[in-house]
Amino acid sequence: MFANISKSVISHAKFGSISRLESTLVIAEHNNDSVSTITQVALTAAKKIGGEITVLIAGPKCGPAAEALTKANGISKVLIAESDAFNGLTPESLTPLILATQKQFNFSHILAGASAFGKALLPRVAAKLDVSPVSDVIGINSSDTFVRTIYAGNAIQTIKAKDNVKVVSIRGTSFEPAPLDGGNATKENAPAGDYKSKQIEFIKQELSKSDRPELTSAKVVVSGGRGLKSGENFKLLYTLADKFNAAVGASRAAVDAGYVPNDLQVGQTGKIVAPELYIAVGISGAIQHLAGMKDSKTIVAINKDPEAPIFQVADYGLVADLFKAVPELTEKL
């Protein structure tokens, strides 16, 4: 009888403290200077899981970004790995560092934002841990149950991950970015090791320069499609975007036609955005494009084809020639 009682007490205690057993490692993305917004989003997701949060920041130079992270509310520790080995933040150099960190601290969750960085890195880490990663999560129901979209956002899948370590990438538009203030995390050096990879050499990055807000975090996005007819005509959208301090995006058709660089592509295989206002100009609204923008609060479509599928998701549609409507709209704002 006594044994029975203690058994039930133990199981009860176990259940009650389940969230305290969770501990999450967030892999920070940064540009040697500042933390990317998607890392702040991942921090919010980490808080939803519960338990202690540690952030790992690696790179040739981590100073200011690491400093900013220590001020984020709710983080207990920032692990810093500053070395030229992490030049270009290649998965080949970061994975052994993350594995060493995991070995030392035994986290229940490893998180990063579902950006090009997170998408390239986390599955390699998961493979090494022999666990199945969970990609581009839009909701966290519990420490092992995640919500994500499949089929270009046309179905929402809820899954329970059965592996002991959950390796999860977080969709940048599905959680609010955690503010980098109100906290006081300790700084520590990450486990030391020779992390330089002989397999890969980072050569260079060619980033599109722009004074505009970042596409994935902009409050307003003005996007153009094939209807713009040329790269030159995209100027119309830039002028309109200036009125809103908006980011400019594009459909795949506009990117493939060479009107704008590929990093402006919004859609299933480009960027996912969810701004307050999305203005789609000369975009028909293929399934693959809608996947990237249909969570926008307000959608405006300007298209001369009244049958264009974009009108089925638009809050406000204007059936008009964009070459007349866009300059007129710009002028009236």
Question: Which parts are annotated binding residues for FAD?
Answer: 226, 251-252, 265-269, 282-289, 303
Instruction: Return the number of the residue (248 or 318) whose C-beta is nearest other proteins.
Output: 318
| Residue 127 one-letter amino acid | A
Distance in Å, CB of 22 to other proteins, minimum: 18
CA distances from 179 to 83, 202, 327 (A): 27, 31, 38
Instruction: Return the number of the residue (53 or 266) whose C-beta is nearest other proteins.
Output: 266
Backbone angles phi, psi at 267, to 5 degrees: 155, -175
Instruction: Return the number of the residue (126 or 228) whose C-beta is nearest other proteins.
Output: 126
Distance in Å, CB of 258 to other proteins, minimum: 10
Distance in Å, CB of 157 to other proteins, minimum: 5
Side-chain half-sphere of 192: how many Cα atoms within 13 Å?
Answer: 1
Which residues are CB-contacts of 146 (< 8 A; sequence separation ≥ 6)?
A: 134, 137, 139, 140, 158, 159, 161, 166, 168
Distance in Å, CB of 158 to other proteins, minimum: 4
Backbone angles phi, psi at 166, to 5 degrees: -100, 120
Which residues are CB-contacts of 254 (< 8 A; sequence separation ≥ 6)?
A: 224, 225, 226, 228, 234, 260, 264
Distance in Å, CB of 183 to other proteins, minimum: 26
Instruction: Return the number of the residue (39 or 80) whose C-beta is nearest other proteins.
Output: 39
- Listed as own residue / partner, the contacts of 161-164 with beta carbons closer than 8 Å and 24 or more positions apart are 161/132, 161/134, 163/131, 163/132, 164/108, 164/131
Instruction: Return the number of the residue (103 or 332) whose C-beta is nearest other proteins.
Output: 332
